[in-house]
Amino acid sequence: MSFTPSGKSIYLKSRMKTRKREIFMKVLAIDYDGVIVDSVMDSLFVSHNAYLKVFGSNSKKIFGGEPFTLKNWPVIQKKYKKEMEKYRSLRPYIRGATDYGLIQKMLEEGKDVQSQQEFDEYRQSVEFDFQKFHDAFYQARKDTQDESFEDWLSLEPPYEIVLKGIRKFVQQGIKVIVATSNRREYIASVFPAEYYDLPIGVDDILDFSFGEDKSSQMHHICDKYNVDYQDIFFVDDQLAHLEQTRKLGINVFLAGWSYATMQQKEIAREEKIPVIEKEKDFYSVIKKYLKNE
- Between 175 and 241, name the residue whose CB sits nearer to Mg ion: 241
Taking the least distance from each CB to Mg ion, the nearer of 66 and 245 is 245
Nearer to Mg ion, 66 or 204 (CB): 204
Residue 286 CB, shortest distance to Mg ion, in Å, is 16
Binding flag, residue 99, Mg ion (CB under 5 A) = no
- Rule CB under 5 A: choose which of 42, 99, 237, 279 binds Mg ion: 237
Tell me whether residue 38 or residue 237 sits nearer to Mg ion (CB atom).
237
Instruction: State the number of binding residues for Mg ion (CB under 5 A).
Output: 4
Beta strands in 65-123 (DSSP E): none
Please report whether residue 279 would count as binding Mg ion according to CB under 5 A: no
Nearer to Mg ion, 36 or 140 (CB): 36
Q: Which amino acid is at 143?
A: D
- 265, containing H or E segment: helix 262-270
CB 226 within 8 A of CB 21: yes
Binding mask 12-31 for Mg ion (x = CB under 5 A): -------------------x
Smallest gap from Cβ 237 to Mg ion, in A, equals: 4
101 binds Mg ion (CB under 5 A): no
230/272 Cα distance (integer angstroms): 16
Please, what is the minimum distance in Å from the beta carbon of residue 39 to Mg ion?
8
**DSSP-based three-state secondary structure for 2:** coil
Classify burial at 109, counting beta carbons within 10 Å of its beta carbon; exposed 0-12, middle 13-18, buried 19 or more: exposed
As measured in angstroms, the least distance from the Cβ of 134 to Mg ion is: 17
Classify residue 292 by its DSSP letter.
Answer: H
Verify binding: residue 33, Mg ion, rule CB under 5 A. Answer: yes
- According to DSSP, residue 279 is labeled G
Collapsing DSSP states into helix, strand and coil, what is residue 131? helix
CB of 263 to Mg ion, least distance (A): 17
User: Quick count: other Cβ atoms within 10 Å of Cβ 5?
Assistant: 5
Give yes or no for residue 34 binding Mg ion (CB under 5 A). yes
- CB-based contact 45:66 (threshold 8 Å): no
Q: Give φ, ψ of 218 to 5 degrees.
A: -65, -40
- Return residues touching Mg ion (CB under 5 A): 31, 33-34, 237
